[in-house]
Amino acid sequence: MNTMRRPRLHHALPALVTVLCAPMVVIGAAPQAGAAPGDPVRLPVLPSRLASGASCTGGSDTVAEAVPWEQQNLQLTRSRRFGTGAGVTVAVVDTGVSLKAPALAGRVTALGGAGDDCVGHGTFVAGLIAAAPVDGVGFSGAARQAHVVAVRGTDERGTATAATVAAGISAAVDAGARVIAVSPALTQTSSGLHDAVAYAARHDALIVAAAVPDAAGDATSSAPPPADYWPAAESGVLSVVDVDVRGQRPLGAYPPRHADLAAPGDGVLSIGPSGQGHFIGSGASLAAGYTAAAAAMVRSAHPGLSAAETARRLITTAYPAGVPRLDPYGALTTVPGASSDPAAQAGGSRPVRLETDQVGARATRRALVSAGAGVGLLLVVSWAAVVVPKGRARRWRPAGNEASPPAEG
């Protein structure tokens, strides 16, 4: 079993930047309990767990028809032309996935009692991954042809322990999952959880986990110091933090010591445990759900990739930022191989795409032309000097596979 841990990045996570090639698009549901700019629709907020005595989460009566901002940001319409998740099983280790959710009918296999979801959180995550499209509704699952395995990783109220998460991961592997989305982020690990992660690695299952817990202080509270949370902190796990519509960490959010990727997770839209309506939710677990969907899309489009290679591809094709931002389109369309640009020659990874990223590339070209050739050269050199060393330092290594070399990225 590989006990090497990947190096940590100790930069300030709030310094997530918006780069020229990654414009943010504000549309559909936004933070603040579902209020979207110019859209009067307000959605109920989905909890991560239930307080003692609280009733189970019911259905939502509100249907959001617009495409949510996060799906615009992830360019899912373009990305689905190259990968849909077909043939890939994604496990959701969470509060369960309701078999009563219409958008997931026929798409879920529930293990044990995981077909009941009192909290609704696991159903919400499963919806991000595989919810079916509905006429007149802009939202649907990112990898909507993937099959979901529902695994209970918490108790019925949403409280998780190292033992419940370890059991959930092991059950997901035994069920044949190739991607495992783990929502809980625990302050302590255990030998059993470590062994479950290694078990997944030996069976070529990619674990995508929330790098921090969902629950945080309110927007006026100060963030706690950076810390490790498990299983995201285990070697070989793809750890993900949440960002908002501006590409920034939410105020008061927990900071991890390290995260591999950032993805939309603050004020995102999905389904509830029953009914046709939608909820809004926030947290790194939702960002991990979107990243797990992207991993399913990549493994569907490129079935020869291992779990480690899939993780490497997601990281090295992400938009460069303090924590690289998930780019499913780039991960799906990147052509591996040598490049003639300086960044690639220096050991970094610069994607060569199957078709032009029109939004980002045109914006970048306009910026370089308007700034002049000299400034353009300075931007390229600065990018290579800052991003490439970070990429080389972020050596993603799968647990339980000592023979695999660390990934350059």
Region of poorest pLDDT, from 253-262, 315-324, 332-341: 332-341
Please give the pLDDT value at position 373: 37
Q: Which is higher by pLDDT, 52 or 145?
A: 145
pTM for the model stands at 0.77
Please give the pLDDT value at position 235: 95
Q: Where are the alpha helices (DSSP H) in 38-84?
A: 69-73, 76-79
Q: Which is higher by pLDDT, 38 or 196?
A: 196
| 307 and 204 Cβ atoms separated by less than 8 Å | yes
Region of poorest pLDDT, from 91-95, 114-118, 131-135, 353-357: 353-357
Structural domain 69-331, CATH architecture: 3-Layer(aba) Sandwich (3.40)
Please give the pLDDT value at position 386: 34
What is the sign, positive or negative, of the torsion defined by CA atoms of 324, 145, 334, 404? positive
Over residues 334-358, the mean pLDDT reads: 41
Over residues 93-106, the mean pLDDT reads: 98
pLDDT per position as a tens digit, 305-328: 999 999 999 999 999 999 999 999
Over residues 387-399, the mean pLDDT reads: 35
| 409 and 315 Cβ atoms separated by less than 8 Å | yes
Compute the mean pLDDT over every residue in the chain, rounded to the nearest whole number. 79
pLDDT category of residue 216 using cuts at 50, 70 and 90: low
From the list 294, 289, 242, 251, the residue with the least C-alpha distance to 270 is 289
Q: Is the pLDDT of residue 15 over 50?
A: no
Region of poorest pLDDT, from 176-190, 223-237, 357-371: 357-371
Alpha-carbon span 393 to 187, nearest angstrom: 25
Token pair 């780069």 in the structure block, residue = 19
Please give the pLDDT value at position 361: 36
Q: Is the pLDDT of residue 207 over 70?
A: yes
Q: Is the pLDDT of residue 88 over 60?
A: yes
Please give the pLDDT value at position 251: 87
| 169 and 182 Cβ atoms separated by less than 8 Å | yes
Q: Is the pLDDT of residue 280 over 90?
A: yes
Token pair 């991560």 in the structure block, residue = 48
Angle at 119 between CA 215 and CA 240, to 5 degrees: 40
Q: Is the pLDDT of residue 6 over 90?
A: no
Q: Is the pLDDT of residue 104 over 70?
A: yes
Alpha-carbon span 209 to 181, nearest angstrom: 6
Please give the pLDDT value at position 400: 38
Which range of 203-217, 282-296, 345-359 scores highest in mean pLDDT? It is 282-296
Alpha-carbon span 39 to 385, nearest angstrom: 42
Region of poorest pLDDT, from 19-33, 105-119, 139-153: 19-33
Region of poorest pLDDT, from 72-86, 224-238, 383-397: 383-397
Please give the pLDDT value at position 219: 55
Please give the pLDDT value at position 337: 57
Alpha-carbon span 18 to 25, nearest angstrom: 12
Radius of gyration of the chain (CA): 20
Q: Which two tokens stand for residue 294?
A: 């992207």
Q: φ and ψ at 104, to 5 degrees? A: -110, 10
pLDDT per position as a tens digit, 131-174: 999 999 999 999 999 999 999 999 999 999 999 999 999 999 99
Q: Is the pLDDT of residue 41 over 50?
A: yes
Q: Is the pLDDT of residue 19 over 90?
A: no
Provide the pairing of β-strand 108-110 with 206-210. unpaired
Query: Can you give the residue ranges of every domain in the chain?
Result: 69-331, 337-393
Over residues 117-131, the mean pLDDT reads: 98
Q: Which is higher by pLDDT, 141 or 351?
A: 141
Q: What percentage of the chain reaches a pLDDT higher than 70?
A: 70
Q: Is the pLDDT of residue 297 over 90?
A: yes
Q: Which two tokens stand for residue 108?
A: 């879920």
Alpha-carbon span 359 to 180, nearest angstrom: 31
Please give the pLDDT value at position 315: 98
Instruction: Please name the amino acid found at residue 243.
Output: V
Q: Which is higher by pLDDT, 164 or 403?
A: 164
Q: Is the pLDDT of residue 184 over 90?
A: yes
Helix (H, G, I), strand (E, B) or coil at 327: coil
Please give the pLDDT value at position 224: 82
Q: Which two tokens stand for residue 275?
A: 């009914």
